[in-house]
Amino acid sequence: MARQRSIREPIAGSGIGVHSGRRVDIRLLPAPADSGIRFRRTDLDPVVELPARADLVRDTQLCTALANEDGVRVATIEHLMSALAGLGIDNLTIELNAPEVPIMDGSAAPFVYLLQQAGIRELDALKTFIHISDTIEVREGDKWARLSPHNGCCFDFTIEFDHPVFRHRNNHTRLDFTSRRYIRDISRARTFGFLRDIEYLQSHGLTLGGGLDNAVVVDDYRVLNEHGLRFDDEFVRHKLLDAVGDLYLLGAPLIGHYQGYKSGHDLNNKLCLALLAAPQSWQRIQLDRDSDIQIDYGENLPLPQAS
């Protein structure tokens, strides 16, 4: 039987907030079964908690951001949520002293590292999965995202950019989920941006912490990072990484097939909300050893490779 997971010991880290450009301290704490993923703003008095839920997403312009009815925010949650999904962590308290999760190196790998250093602990409660039974799709222009039935967990993503850097690279990637494959093939893929967009945003006081240390930056012709890409198709791998994190805001891992074409945080969230609004299209289930559906979170998992 698949059991819920948390971490064994508290662990702390720090990094730069991509929006503020300021230091952000983060602390990951074990949590009991059935408590879910919760963000805690310790810089506020009183402290405010926000559960990681798709219906609390209020901003998807430059990241995925949660907010409560009082306007308290936690932004840039998608890479951490992706790492939690990749390692099968169901219950965790995340303390922050700022309104955003630190960007780290722009990928999920630093969060995978922190979680593994804290140790992963199975809890005495069964893991619940969201089993897709009917296809749900959302579209905006030529962009779309879809969830459909599948005997396992699979993510497919396709990008399309009319730009020299993207023109001769693979624009599609697929993850047939296991924790080992997620760590090896997806977790290290960094967010990316165009130099002209970053310069414009920073001139307007946005993405003040963004740069070559935490993103792949592309000018009109080439990748500007000194050491280039971690994967030849790092761009599309990162978009899949984002989708894994955005879909984990459903509150449980998926048994189904996600497909995204030019999708982003906004469309991913709309897909989550469309699914939640169609309860006839999914069920919450638990998996036993005799099930023909097996989701492998693995043991003795490798750490993400160094850059």
Q: Is 79 annotated as a binding residue?
A: yes
Distance, CA of 16 to CA of 22 (rounded, Å)? 5
Neighbours of 14 (CB within 10 A): 12
Which amino acid makes up residue 105?
D
CA gap 190, 187 in Å, rounded:
8
> 232 a known binding residue?
no
Marked catalytic residue, from 19, 131, 257, 265: 265
Determine whether 163 is an active site residue. Answer: no
- Written as six digits, the tokens of 136 are 């749900």
The first and second tokens of residue 13, run together, are 């880290």
115: region left, alpha or beta (phi > 0 left; psi from -120 to 50 alpha):
alpha
Q: Is 238 annotated as a binding residue?
A: yes
* Coil, helix or strand at residue 193: strand
Name the token pair of 148: 């459909």
d(CA 7, CA 23): 24
Q: In the numeric block, which tokens belong to residue 94?
A: 């995340």
Give binding residues for Zn(2+) as ranges. 79, 238, 242
Which residues are known to be catalytic?
265
